[in-house]
């Protein structure tokens, strides 16, 4: 008798990249991880690490024309380690899908109706949903018999109340164009808020958490008893915090001012605010390590960029403290949140009145484990909780197909 299949392949398909992980949900072990970059260019690269088979990283350079070729190359790498996609041990493929609108509040087994709905959301996620659809179709062609599950970045935020999700604009116009705040990074906010509760020895339903997901993209969320009640990203991932290349909050009049006064087109303004703003727009660098290095050398532009970044974070901490009424924990996560102790220290500086502080020694510890960095006995627990979106996607996928 063969045992029930327990492996899940997680695919995160971007416009020119595919990130993947193969996990065994019997023990949540990662069997293989990898990335295909620069799909469609001459300089494509596949980086594959078979963790189950000793962990030696393999890098293959050479043109990979499209997502179909990319996934076939990934399948070949996995097969070389005895982890092929034709394995009867594979239970499902879980896909990260960025925009699920209001309809998808939970992970969903993909069929043609679901795909059509993801397609219908392309106008509100033009950069992301088309790549996600391509990834799904390619994986379906490879294993048509296998359940494929969509796990949506927006799903965790669908619990936001109307007064947090609605923009204060004409309702008919908003509804006609589905303009409202959806929020993103939901898989990470869900995972980290739950993990933070466990770190405190509590059930997620018992605690109120502010999650700060600070990566190249960045967002904050207010999570009350396990449910998201507000988040900083909106119709698109542009709203909210200062990010690596995105402006975050801005007076919307800046956009028509740029059109009228600078003669910029909608596409040019889109490019400016999404790709040439944030930290990179302010000081030319979007990597927090480089910004800290420049600050240490006395660079004023880098110092101002850092201060603007921190000021915005503090505003959201204050706002979400008010939204939640009572905050039990603040959790820092993602590339900057997990690694940049100076960002955590600066964001918390002066917030003693809100019960928030960091202990310098605890904050300096480097670790991959969730940990507290607030002083002993602090009224608000401040924590560093490494995110794991792939594990969360795999868990949700596996739970759905074995339910
Ligand atoms: P995303 O998934 O949004 O691309 P990540 O969560 O991987 O981003 O975060 C990437 C960012 O994390 C980098 O741009 C860099 O600013 C920051 N980062 C990574 N490692 C460190 C570190 N050791 N110190 C400070 N910042 C770091």
- Work out the angle between the directed axes of helices 341-348 and 300-324 (0-180°, nearest 10): 60
pLDDT value at 215 more than 50:
yes
The CB of 337 under 6 Å from ligand 1? The reply is no
Mutate to test the pocket of ligand 1, among 184, 288, 364 (most ligand atoms within 8 A of CB): 288
Looking at the structure, tell me whether residues 142 and 206 fall in a common domain. no
The answer to whether position 301 is within a domain reads yes
The answer to whether position 90 is within a domain reads yes
pLDDT value at 15 more than 90:
no
Q: How far is CA 97 from the centre of its chain?
A: 11
pLDDT value at 298 more than 90:
yes
Residue 220 lies in domain: 202-389
- Tell me the HSE value of 198 on the side-chain side, using a 13 A CA sphere: 9
Looking at the structure, tell me whether residues 217 and 350 fall in a common domain. yes
In this prediction, residue 77 has a pLDDT band, given cuts at 50, 70 and 90, of: very high
In this prediction, residue 14 has a pLDDT band, given cuts at 50, 70 and 90, of: confident
State in Å: Cα 171 to ligand 1 middle. 38
pLDDT value at 53 more than 90:
no
The CB of 215 under 6 Å from ligand 1? The reply is yes
The answer to whether position 383 is within a domain reads yes
Question: Which pTM was predicted?
Answer: 0.94
Looking at the structure, tell me whether residues 141 and 277 fall in a common domain. no
Looking at the structure, tell me whether residues 240 and 108 fall in a common domain. no
**pLDDT value of position 81:** 87
Q: Dump pLDDT digits (tens) for 324-340.
A: 999 999 999 999 999 99
Looking at the structure, tell me whether residues 137 and 234 fall in a common domain. no
Looking at the structure, tell me whether residues 233 and 145 fall in a common domain. no
The CB of 217 under 6 Å from ligand 1? The reply is yes
Q: What angle do CA 143, 136, 24 make, to 5 degrees?
A: 60
Looking at the structure, tell me whether residues 250 and 138 fall in a common domain. no
pLDDT value at 301 more than 60:
yes
Mean pLDDT of 226-236: 97
CATH number at residue 261: 3.30.420.40
The answer to whether position 221 is within a domain reads yes
Residue whose Cα lies nearest atom 21 of ligand 1: it is 339
Q: What is the C-alpha to C-alpha distance for residues 264 and 241, in angstroms, rounded to an integer?
A: 24
**pLDDT value of position 2:** 56
The CB of 287 under 6 Å from ligand 1? The reply is yes
State in Å: Cα 59 to ligand 1 middle. 22
Looking at the structure, tell me whether residues 341 and 206 fall in a common domain. yes
Looking at the structure, tell me whether residues 353 and 215 fall in a common domain. yes
State in Å: Cα 344 to ligand 1 middle. 14
Q: What is the C-alpha to C-alpha distance for residues 308 and 376, in angstroms, rounded to an integer?
A: 30
State in Å: Cα 279 to ligand 1 middle. 12
Residue whose Cα lies nearest atom 12 of ligand 1: it is 335
In this prediction, residue 26 has a pLDDT band, given cuts at 50, 70 and 90, of: very high
Residue whose Cα lies nearest atom 19 of ligand 1: it is 335
Looking at the structure, tell me whether residues 259 and 375 fall in a common domain. yes
pLDDT value at 3 more than 90:
no
The answer to whether position 330 is within a domain reads yes
Q: Dump pLDDT digits (tens) for 149-182.
A: 999 999 999 999 999 999 999 999 999 999 999 9
Mutate to test the pocket of ligand 1, among 294, 335, 363, 387 (most ligand atoms within 8 A of CB): 335
Q: What is the C-alpha to C-alpha distance for residues 308 and 242, in angstroms, rounded to an integer?
A: 8
Concatenated DSSP letters of 49-92 = E-GGGT---EEEES---SHHHHHHHHHHHHHHTT--TT-TTEEE
Mutate to test the pocket of ligand 1, among 96, 128, 189, 215 (most ligand atoms within 8 A of CB): 215
Reply yes or no on whether 153 is catalytic.
yes
Residue count of the chain, please give it.
403
The catalytic residue among 24, 81, 86, 153 is 153
The answer to whether position 183 is within a domain reads no
Average pLDDT of the residues of the chain: 95
The CB of 290 under 6 Å from ligand 1? The reply is no
State in Å: Cα 335 to ligand 1 middle. 3
pLDDT value at 224 more than 70:
yes
Total number of domains in the chain: 2
Looking at the structure, tell me whether residues 290 and 367 fall in a common domain. yes
pLDDT value at 1 more than 50:
no
State in Å: Cα 386 to ligand 1 middle. 12
């Amino acid at each position: 008798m063969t045992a029930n299949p327990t492996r899940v392949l997680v695919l995160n398909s971007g416009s020119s990249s595919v990130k993947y992980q193969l996990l065994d949900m019997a023990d949540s072990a990662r069997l293989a991880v990898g990335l295909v970059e620069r799909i469609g260019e001459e300089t494509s690269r596949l980086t594959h690490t078979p963790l189950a088979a000793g962990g030696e990283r393999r890098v293959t350079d050479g043109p990979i024309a499209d997502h179909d070729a990319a996934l076939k190359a990934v399948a070949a790498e996995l097969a070389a380690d005895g982890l092929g996609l034709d394995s009867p041990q594979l239970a499902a493929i879980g896909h990260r899908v960025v925009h699920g609108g209001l309809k998808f509040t939970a992970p969903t087994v993909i069929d043609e109706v679901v795909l059509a709905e993801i397609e219908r959301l392309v106008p509100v996620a033009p950069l992301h949903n088309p790549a996600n659809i391509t990834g799904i179709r390619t994986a379906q062609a490879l294993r048509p018999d296998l359940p494929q599950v969509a796990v949506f970045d927006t799903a965790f935020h669908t619990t936001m109340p109307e007064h947090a999700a609605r923009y204060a604009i004409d309702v008919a116009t908003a509804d006609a164009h589905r303009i409202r705040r959806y929020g993103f990074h939901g898989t990470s906010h869900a995972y980290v808020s739950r993990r933070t509760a466990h770190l405190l020895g509590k059930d997620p339903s018992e605690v109120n958490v502010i999650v700060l997901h600070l990566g190249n993209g960045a967002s904050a969320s207010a999570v009350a008893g396990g449910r998201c009640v507000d988040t900083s990203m909106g119709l698109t991932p542009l709203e909210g915090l200062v990010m690596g290349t995105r402006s975050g909050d801005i007076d919307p009049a800046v956009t028509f001012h740029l059109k009228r006064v600078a003669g910029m087109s909608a596409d040019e303004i889109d490019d400016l605010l999404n790709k040439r703003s944030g930290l990179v727009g302010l000081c030319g660098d979007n990597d927090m390590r480089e910004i800290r290095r420049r600050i240490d050398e006395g660079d004023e532009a880098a110092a101002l960029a850092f201060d603007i970044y921190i000021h915005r974070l503090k505003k959201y901490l204050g706002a979400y403290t008010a939204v939640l009424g009572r905050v039990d924990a603040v959790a820092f996560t993602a590339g900057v949140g997990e690694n940049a102790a100076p960002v955590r220290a600066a964001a918390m500086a002066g917030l003693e009145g809100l019960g928030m502080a960091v202990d310098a020694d605890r904050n300096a510890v480097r670790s991959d484990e969730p940990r507290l960095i607030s002083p002993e006995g602090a009224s608000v627990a401040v924590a560093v909780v490494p995110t794991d979106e792939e594990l969360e996607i795999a868990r949700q996928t596996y739970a759905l197909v074995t339910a």
